[in-house]
Structure 1
Amino acid sequence: MTAPMDAPESSQHADPEAVVAGAKNPASRSLRQIAWQRFRKDKVGMAGGIVVVLLILVAIFAPLLTAWFGYPPNQFNQQMIDPATGGVLLDPDDPVPGMLDPWGGIGADHLLGVEPVNGRDLFSRIVYGARTSLLVATVATVVCVVIGTVLGVVAGYFGGWVDTVISRAMDIFLAFPLLLFAIALVGVIPDGAFGLTGNGLRIGVLIFIIGFFNWPYIGRIVRGQTLTLKEREFIEAARSLGAGSPHIVFREILPNLVTPILVYSTLLIPTNILFEAALSFLGVGVNPPTATWGGMLENALRFYTIAPHFVIIPGLAIFITVLAFNLFGDGLRDAFDPRSSD
């Protein structure tokens, strides 16, 4: 049972002019239609959404893009590197000692240049780094949403001692030193566990840490929304008709929580991307030679004097990705805000 609405008159005998006028009336449109029209007017949010879609496509089609525009991400191109300094030679075919390329080998063959010391293609590693970052952040966000939604709805709907226990658990998790715990846990994990080995195990541990310890953020939002919704008239009407708790939770409350969950998820993903990049930067994330943006930044700090592009490119990748998700999330939040006006 949803919120009651007045049944419209039959449109079979309606005046065509009235139908056209009703199509322009905001009251005759659904929430999704209104939100989409608001979002389309938000040029900044639309731009962020387009960048997010492009990033997802880049991550999905990373092997294809690498085959078309780059080289394998772990292929060494030592012929482009000066053995004395580790910098990128200005002309690999006719090298002159000390003549380094200030642009890091950027050209038709290497769209974003190459790494110093080993000469790996930066474009390929940025593309595969997007796959790693989005995989960890997206799956971890899904774990956060599932745990936070379940516990938030249970706490808000049932209240009493159930709400007290879950709320105190949220406070404990929010006070937990997550970064230090992640560094300690990832640093001592064995080479194989739970049927996983190598980077598969590392990625699984990262997803577990981020998802399991970040759920209180969305749990608090869901709990607050549930406390508000369970006092609404349509919930009381469902109870008066004999609906039980499972029906009310799954058919009445959860559909009305989709919008805040969706909006907050888009704002949580960039936070998780930064967390994964921070762990990789500290050397306790995904193991090399797998490409990660944080790992590339950690390597770049040792060569920023001879290869500044090696610092700028992965830094820009993280900055653009996080900014795009934040702008997209802000746009969705404004579009679904019932206090916004057309």
Structure 2
Amino acid sequence: MTAPIETTAAATDAQPEAVLAGVDKGQIEGRSLGQIAWTRFKRDKVAVAGGVIVVLLILMAILARPLQSMLGLDPNAFNQDLIDPNTSLPKGDMGGMSGAHPLGVDPKFGRDIATRVLEGSWVSLVVAFGATILSNVIGAILGVIAGYYGGRVDSIISRLMDTFLAFPLLLFAISISATLQGGAFGLNGLPLHLAVLIFVIGFFNWPYLGRIVRGQAMALREREFVDASRGMGAKAPYILFRELMPNLVGPIIVYSTLLIPTNILFEASLSFLGVGIQPPQASWGGMLREAVTYYQVDPQFMIVPGLAIFLTVLAFNLLGDGLRDALDPRSR
């Protein structure tokens, strides 16, 4: 009666070795945190779709000027022959849509809407990315310093964050943009408008990321790897930028994808109010401002740039939600 039991026990004990003996080394591979996050992200089809749209928008913005030069397109070219002199509206149906003008022309000067939307794409993305980078640099540095040192340093930086959060950003942006329309700091025209928008939006938005980084840094400073660095004699700058900051890349990336659409809307709002990008330079907010007069008789002039803003903001938000779930599944 004992022999079968001993045989079964021996077979059971030998099972792990037998299994491992039949597995090739190439079939057992460890995965990094990045690979695991990428696997999670690929499972979210909605986030992948948002990422594809974001990539296409970035490519469209980068290739906007080369495509215009290659195809001989001019976003500011007047086509008065396409405007009916009796109605002051584009000739034909659907806002003057044709093979040469697939999205129609604007009823004011007959300019091609598709070309102006293409031109406005790089303006919005340059302002959004520039402002996001500026706010992330300031917020990440001050946030990690406040979270690591604590005490008086944390109190000073936290009160500074509260001051910036209480600042009336929209009113300040309108006033400073209107004041610097002529020229300043050796800049004028479009470079000045872009620089002012990037500075105003980025410099006053850093506390949002700063608070996130501060909270994460306060939790990370008590971890074992930080204590080990201190025990090995590492200085504070090394711990801040070589130990803590790499562990904060995930939250920073996620917040950036959610901040970019906010900055796009802010730039479009300022251009719509007339204190952002100035004509004749095309911008999505500026196109909406020009379309206000004609939206009842030519709604397409407002729908096209409005859809461009809507799809861009939606794509970045979907991408941001997918990255958040992939990098931190516990937040779901």
The alignment's TM-score, normalised by the length of structure 2, stands at 0.91
- Residue 225 of structure 1, CA deviation: 0.7
C-alpha separation between the residues in 2 aligned to 1:18 and 1:221? 45
- Residue 156 of structure 1, CA deviation: 0.7
Contact 1:60 1:131 (8 Å CA) reproduced: yes
Partner of 2:182: 191
Map Cα deviations across residues 113-139 of structure 1 (whole Å, 9 max, x no partner): 110020000011000100000000100
- Residue 20 of structure 1, CA deviation: 5.3
Structure 1 pair 85/219, CA: closer, same or farther in 2 (3 Å)? same
- Residue 15 of structure 1, CA deviation: 5.0
Q: What is the letter of the counterpart of residue 155 of structure 1?
A: A
C-alpha separation between the residues in 1 aligned to 2:229 and 2:46? 40
Partner of 2:40: 38
Larger Rg belongs to: 2
- Residue 338 of structure 1, CA deviation: 4.6
Partner of 1:19: 25
Partner of 1:218: 209
C-alpha separation between the residues in 2 aligned to 1:308 and 1:185? 32
Residue 55 of structure 2: which of 50, 53, 72 is its match?
A: 53
Question: Could you say what secondary structure the match of 1:302 adopts?
Answer: helix
- Residue 68 of structure 1, CA deviation: 6.0
C-alpha separation between the residues in 2 aligned to 1:17 and 1:65? 54
Q: What is the letter of the counterpart of residue 67 of structure 2?
A: L
* 1:1-342 pair list within 5 angstroms: 17=23, 19=25, 22-23=28-29, 28-67=30-69, 71-90=73-92, 101=93, 103-339=94-330
C-alpha separation between the residues in 2 aligned to 1:109 and 1:190? 35
Percent of counterpart pairs with the same letter? 60
C-alpha separation between the residues in 2 aligned to 1:220 and 1:89? 54
Over the residues paired in the alignment, what is the CA RMSD in angstroms? 1.7
Q: What is the letter of the counterpart of residue 79 of structure 1?
A: D
Moved more, 191-200 or 125-134: 191-200
Question: Could you say what secondary structure the match of 1:301 adopts?
Answer: helix
- Residue 301 of structure 1, CA deviation: 1.2
Partner of 1:7: none
Structure 1 pair 265/288, CA: closer, same or farther in 2 (3 Å)? same
Q: What is the letter of the counterpart of residue 31 of structure 2?
A: R
Map Cα deviations across residues 143-184 of structure 1 (whole Å, 9 max, x no partner): 000000111011111111111011001011111111111111
Contact 2:270 2:276 (8 Å CA) reproduced: yes
Hey, which of these two has a bigger chunk of helix by percent?
Answer: 2
C-alpha separation between the residues in 1 aligned to 2:88 and 2:291? 12
Question: Could you say what secondary structure the match of 1:182 adopts?
Answer: helix
- Residue 316 of structure 1, CA deviation: 0.1
The alignment's TM-score, normalised by the length of structure 1, stands at 0.88
Aligned length: 313
Question: Could you say what secondary structure the match of 1:296 adopts?
Answer: helix
C-alpha separation between the residues in 2 aligned to 1:76 and 1:84? 18
Structure 1 pair 70/290, CA: closer, same or farther in 2 (3 Å)? same
C-alpha separation between the residues in 2 aligned to 1:18 and 1:148? 48
Map Cα deviations across residues 49-99 of structure 1 (whole Å, 9 max, x no partner): 000000000000002333566731000000000123220012xxxxxxxxx
Contact 1:105 1:113 (8 Å CA) reproduced: yes
Question: Could you say what secondary structure the match of 2:206 adopts?
Answer: helix
Map Cα deviations across residues 162-214 of structure 1 (whole Å, 9 max, x no partner): 11011001011111111111111111125121110112111111111001100
Contact 1:78 1:118 (8 Å CA) reproduced: yes
- Residue 340 of structure 1, CA deviation: 7.5
- Residue 29 of structure 1, CA deviation: 1.3
Q: What is the letter of the counterpart of residue 83 of structure 2?
A: I
- Residue 16 of structure 1, CA deviation: 6.6
